[in-house]
A and B are shown apart, each in its own frame.
Chain A
Amino acid sequence: MIEIKDIHKSFDDNYVLKGISATFTDGMNNLIIGGSGSGKTTLLKCMVGLHAPDQGSVIYDGRDFTRLNTEERIDIRKEIGMLFQNSALFDSMTVEENIMFPLNMFTNQSKEEKLDRVNFCLERVDLKGKNKLYPSELSGGMKKRVGIARAISMQPRYLFVDEPNSGLDPKTAILIDELINEITDEYNITTVVVTHDMNSVMGIGEKIIFLYDGYKEWEGSNQEIVNADNKQLNDFVFASKFAQAAREKM
């Protein structure tokens, strides 16, 4: 479980996060949603330590990440897997080397053991046999899947996903969502997904936090979001003509 308490973050005079508190549950897809500039990615980066919050705490199963020293933080980071918006695969490495990289850095496994793990992860994301390809030879969806394979290679306790569907066609986006959902169930990990994609919200949003202008505006599930009585949330959820038409039919 991850708990965030009263997170504030500003960049110069621009206040991005204004006191956000929430709990992210184990074995569940926890979604952070909101419009562009609402502070979703900044909150995610504060949670994983890429940004230092001005105020507040991020607590991983009782361990306050913001109060730990560098060595203790590294211990928690080894339990974190993250899929970045643009996958962030290492350009100079093959798919196999990308997935093997954390294993090389932090385990003393033999080469065969590491290769077995790489092949298992690749099979898990349906990319068996793509070991020797470079990131430049992969499609957007394949890059995301390799990113997921790399994120799960160390069997993380916490999985963070930043905009998993950006730049993907709707069909591939659904496949990625399903994969994230399956991995969360399979490993019983705490998954935090930042998205503004309504298909993801409706598909895998077991727990949803809606941010608006740096505040937590609403919290609930995908079952509750359609009937929520919140103007900002409704403006966000029913922004498209398609959604508005669907709402009128309801």
Chain B
Amino acid sequence: MFTDFGRYILLLKSVFKRPEKWNIYSKNIFNEMVYIGVESIYLIGIISLFVGAVMTLQIAFQLQSDLIPRTIIGSVNRDSAILELSPTISALVLAGKIGSSISSEIGTMRVTEQIDALEIMGINAPGYLILPKILAGITMIPLLVVISIGLAILGGYMGGSFSGAISGADYYRGITEGFNPYTIAVSLVKAFFFGFIITSVSAYQGFYVKGSALEVGRASTKTVVISCISILCADYVITGLML
């Protein structure tokens, strides 16, 4: 485990070396942004809408009391979405979608000697392959989280209204009352670190694959497991430090 961590740090050191040509890297960064960000919007959107809707129903179920105003349902749903559900669930889903893909892509390049070919040419392979993914991850995942927050709150409105658990007016008043913008900052910090974890851990697993296609598959599975655990640990640490 310590050997792996040491190699991970050394790999990151190579990743952040000065690029050979920024214009080629920037093209790769935009391509990765499209893949990581734009192509994940649909999945994150669907999940967020349903999570928001279900959360509203569950909160309404748990807060059935004449002493508690119905607007609380909106407030709790909003803060849950901002602080925990949107960043963490989005990150766990993206660890599966993007993490396994990055690991497989780089792992396949390793076993088919494409990474060796880059190194023979004198190109810093970790920088060329991994840096654009990390930069795309730390910029696009926070954006996805912002979209997810919006859709989770919208989902809560729709779920609450359609089921009759809460009226639209109460829900709206709930989500606008007592809003603390600091919670958005916490959420974005989480998303930034989750983006870094997903892209760097998956790239590390792929970069050091040895063997054949079978090992690429195993590395991909390992990526998802390690990324998910790392995300949950980072979630706890960031929450503890910031709240």
Chain A positions near chain B (C-beta within 8 angstroms): 48-50, 73-75, 77-78, 80, 82, 84-86, 88-91, 101-102, 104-106, 154, 160
Contact A48 B120 (CB under 8 A): yes
CB neighbours (8 Å) of A80 from chain B are 120, 122
The answer to whether residues A105 and B24 also contact, given A74-B122, A77-B120 and a CB cut-off of 8 A, is: yes
Contact of B20 among A84, A88, A89, A105 (CB under 8 A): A105
Size band of the interface chain B makes with A: 10 to 19
Of the candidates A49, A77, A88, the one having the most CB atoms from chain B within 10 angstroms of its own CB is A88
A110–B161 Cα distance when bound, in Å, is 61
Q: Separation in Å of the B203 CB from the closest CB of chain A?
A: 16
CB neighbours (8 Å) of B119 from chain A are 49-50, 77
Tell me if B229 counts as interface (CB < 8 A to partner A). no
Closest to A98 in B: B117
A48–B113 Cα distance when bound, in Å, is 14
CB neighbours (8 Å) of A82 from chain B are 117, 120
Contact B21 A84 (CB under 8 A): no
Contact B21 A104 (CB under 8 A): yes
Q: Tell me what chain A mostly uses at the interface: helix, strand, loop, or mixed.
A: mixed
Tell me if B114 counts as interface (CB < 8 A to partner A). yes
Contact B123 A50 (CB under 8 A): no
Tell me if B177 counts as interface (CB < 8 A to partner A). no
CB<8 Å pairs between A and B, sample of 13: A48-B120, A49-B119, A50-B116, A75-B122, A77-B120, A82-B117, A84-B113, A84-B116, A88-B112, A91-B114, A105-B121, A154-B121, A160-B120
Contact B123 A88 (CB under 8 A): no
Chain B positions near chain A (C-beta within 8 angstroms): 20-21, 24, 108, 112-114, 116-117, 119-123
Closest to B114 in A: A88
A42–B114 Cα distance when bound, in Å, is 17
Q: Separation in Å of the A51 CB from the closest CB of chain B?
A: 10
Contact B122 A88 (CB under 8 A): no
The answer to whether residues A86 and B112 also contact, given A104-B21, A105-B21 and a CB cut-off of 8 A, is: yes
CB neighbours (8 Å) of B114 from chain A are 88-91
CB neighbours (8 Å) of B117 from chain A are 82, 84, 88, 90
A85–B120 Cα distance when bound, in Å, is 14
| A-B residue pairs, 4 tightest by C-beta | A77-B122, A88-B113, A88-B117, A74-B122
CB neighbours (8 Å) of A73 from chain B are 122
Contact B112 A104 (CB under 8 A): no
**Extra inter-chain contacts (13) besides given A86-B113, A88-B114, A104-B21, CB under 8 Å:** A50-B116, A75-B122, A77-B119, A77-B121, A77-B122, A84-B116, A86-B112, A88-B113, A91-B108, A102-B121, A105-B20, A105-B123, A106-B121
CB neighbours (8 Å) of B123 from chain A are 105
Q: Separation in Å of the B235 CB from the closest CB of chain A?
A: 34
Contact A106 B112 (CB under 8 A): no
Closest to A82 in B: B120
A64–B171 Cα distance when bound, in Å, is 73
A154–B117 Cα distance when bound, in Å, is 14
A106–B124 Cα distance when bound, in Å, is 12
A160–B122 Cα distance when bound, in Å, is 14
Q: Separation in Å of the B53 CB from the closest CB of chain A?
A: 39
Contact B122 A85 (CB under 8 A): no
A73–B20 Cα distance when bound, in Å, is 14
Closest to B21 in A: A105
The answer to whether residues A78 and B122 also contact, given A104-B21, A105-B20, A105-B21 and a CB cut-off of 8 A, is: yes
